[in-house]
């Protein structure tokens, strides 16, 4: 079973808390936006979104920081995923 | 009796809870957006919507995940349907 | 006496509850949007609406489902009508 | 003394309640928008309004139904008028 | 001392209440927008405002009716003025 | 130390209250917008701002009236400054 | 480990309070926007953002004043960073 995101959407899988501690990444969230480190699992095709051309710049496997504000959580085969728009991704962690 | 959606609208029928359990899909909803798995029953023609060209990318029979936020529920001949805009569809489940 | 809607507006007449029961259409309304089945009585000319070209796709006699959100009710010669924008019409019932 | 509306504005004069009863028009107002039958007294020149080309389609003498939502009431020489944008006019009553 | 309004702004001076009574203009204000009769004292140059071309159509000396909603009051050399955008001017009184 | 504003931003320094009294300028502020007389200290380059071309029309040394609504106050080397967008400047005082 | 911001985003590192005192910069924050002096650590590529061309004008090493309104705080390898859009940067401090 697989999620194919539409338009400028991206399927993310949160990096586990253990892994976060190992890599030294600790996130401090404000009340407004809860940032999270997540791995890109699937990337939508981009194209015309709300009348504006969107080019997808993240790719599968990227570790990204997002603001969780407009994401939707889905659980498939026991795994939890988050679907966000690419514009909700703030930065790639290298 | 049949629903023909206008513009970028799509008629969906929720996949039953039983079926969801069988396929291993369990949805966790946030307070803001209640995601749902649904089957596409009818697809609008797309075209100019609010002055912007929209191409329909979902097709009848697709299983999709939506945010229920702006959908409208209708019951016809004893069956319940939901009408959403295509932009409210987050991903196709394969 | 006759209503000639301007721009992208459409004059609707609600289909009576009796008729709804006969045809098997029962509407379940959410708190946010109250869907209704109505017949199209008059159709505006379309054209430039808020700077965007609108083509009218519904025609007189269509049975439609609308979200009542932005409609305005008017009573003329003892008959009640609702005036909506075409974009408030979700689907045509066939 | 005369009001010359700017841009896409229209000066209206409410049709008296007596006249409304005679013609058989009774308006039922929702909480959100109070519809009214009014006569067009003056019409603005249209043209570029908020960067969008507006063509005036109502003319002096038209009986119109408006949503009173954004109108402004003015009393000149003892007569009350309402100034609305043309887009606040829903339909012409013929 | 003189005010030179920028962009699509206009400097107005309220017509005194006495004068209003003489000319027979009495304004009835709704809770939302307080209409006022004022004289145009200075007119901005217009041009590109928020990316849209604006042509100034009022001129110094015009008596205008405004909605006071977004105006700013200033007192210079003992005289009170109001600065509004031209789009806040509803009509010219002739 | 010097502030170089970006895009359509302007650095202002409030004209002291004493000076205001001398020149006869007294400002009456509404609850919504507190107007202020200030001197232009630095002017941003203008150009494409939020996708729209902005030409800077104020210059260093201009005395301006602003609505303080979206300004940000900064203190550098003991002097207080306010940074606003040019569109927040209502008029130049001459 | 390194943050690569997307689109028009910029990674900032707050200048320490001690340094601020030394340089004589003291910031007074309003309730709405808390201005901060920060150093630019990483700059996104710019390009089409929400359908509008954005050119990045800040560069790594710039000291900038921002409104913290829409920033997201991240801690990597024990260092705290803030990710903002370039349009949230008010001025460069020289």
Instruction: Say if residue E35's pLDDT is above 60.
Output: no
> What pLDDT does residue F76 have?
81
Q: Quick one: pLDDT at residue A30?
A: 42
pLDDT tens digits, E53-89: 999 999 999 999 997 566 888 888 788 899 999 999 9
What is each CA distance from B88 to B58, B66, B84, G89, in whole angstroms? 12, 6, 6, 33
pLDDT at B35: 56
**pLDDT tens sequence across F56-68:** 999 999 999 997 5
Which residues lie closer than 8 Å to F17 by C-beta, 6 or more apart?
none
Residue in chain A lying closest to G47 (CA) = A55
Domain ranges across chain E? 9-93
CATH superfamily of C9-25+33-93: GroES chaperonin (2.30.33.40)
Q: How far is G77 from chain F (nearest CA, A)?
A: 31
pLDDT reported for residue C68? 57
The DSSP result for chain C, as a single string, is --EEE-TTEEEEEEPPHHHHHHHTEE----SS--EEEEEEEEE---EEETTEEE-----TT-EEEEEGGG-EEEEETTEEEEEEEGGGEEEEE-
pLDDT given at position D58: 98
Please, what is the average pLDDT of chain G? Answer: 82
Q: What is the pLDDT of residue C78?
A: 82
Residues D54 and D85 sit within 8 Å (Cβ to Cβ)? no
Determine whether the interchain pair B91/A11 forms a contact, defined as Cβ–Cβ distance below 8 Å.
yes
Mutate to test the interface with E, among F90, F92, F93 (most CBs of E within 10 A): F90
Instruction: Say if residue E25's pLDDT is above 70.
Output: no
F72 vs F74: CA distance, rounded Å = 7
CA–CA distance, A30 with A13 (Å, rounded to integer): 21
Which residues of chain E make contact with D2, given a CB cutoff of 8 A?
93-94
Is A81 or G28 the better-scoring residue by pLDDT? A81
The reported pTM is: 0.80
CA distance C30 to chain B (A): 7
pLDDT value, residue G70? 66
Selected residues 20-79 of chain A with any CB under 8 Å from a CB in chain B: 42, 44, 48, 50-51, 72-78
- The dihedral through the CA atoms of A52, A57, A60, A61 has a sign that is negative
pLDDT tens-digit series, residues A52-82? 999 999 999 999 999 756 688 888 878 889 9
> Quick one: pLDDT at residue G26?
54
The Cβ of residue F35 has, within 10 Å, a number of other Cβ atoms equal to 19
| pLDDT mean for each 10 residues of chain B (94 residues) | 93 71 51 66 95 95 83 85 94 94
pLDDT (mean) for E8-33: 62
Among D31-45, E14-28, E29-43, F33-47, whose mean pLDDT is lowest? E14-28
Closest by Cβ to E9, choosing from F23, F86, F91: F91
Burial B78-90 (b: 16+ CB within 10 A, else e): eeebbbbbbbbbb
Query: Token digits for F8?
Result: 């359509």
Q: How confident is the model at residue A84 (pLDDT cuts 50, 70, 90)?
A: very high
State the best of G7, G26, G65 to mutate against chain F, taking most chain F CBs within 10 Å. G65
For residue D44, list chain E residues with Cβ-Cβ distance below 8 A.
91
Contacts of D3 in chain E (CB under 8 A): 65, 91-94
| Chain D nearest CA to E77, separation (Å) | 31
- Measured between CA atoms, the residue of chain A closest to residue B68 is A72
Detail the DSSP E strand segments found in chain G: 3-5, 9-14, 25-26, 35-43, 47-49, 52-54, 63-67, 72-76, 79-85, 89-93
Distance CA(A44)–CA(D48), nearest Å, equals 39
* Better pLDDT: A94 or C92: C92
Contact (CB, 8 A) for D55 and C48 = yes
Considering only CB atoms, D1 lies closest to which of E30, E35, E93, namely: E93
Domain D9-93 top-level CATH class: mainly beta
pLDDT band at C71 (very low <50, low <70, confident <90, very high): confident
Which of A16-20, B76-80, C38-42, E22-26 is predicted least confidently? A16-20
Residue E33 has pLDDT above 50, yes or no: no
What pLDDT digit, counting tens, does each position of G39-70 carry?
999 999 999 998 899 999 999 999 999 975 66
């Amino acid at each position: 079973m697989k999620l194919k995101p539409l338009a400028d959407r991206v399927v993310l899988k949160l990096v586990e808390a253990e892994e976060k501690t190992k890599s030294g990444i600790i996130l401090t969230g404000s009340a407004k936006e809860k940032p999270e480190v997540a791995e890109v699992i699937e990337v939508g095709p981009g194209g015309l979104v709300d009348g504006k051309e969107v080019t997808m710049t993240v790719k599968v496997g990227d570790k990204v920081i997002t603001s969780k504000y407009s994401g939707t959580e889905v659980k498939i085969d026991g795994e939890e995923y988050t679907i966000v728009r690419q514009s909700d991704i703030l930065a790639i962690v290298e």
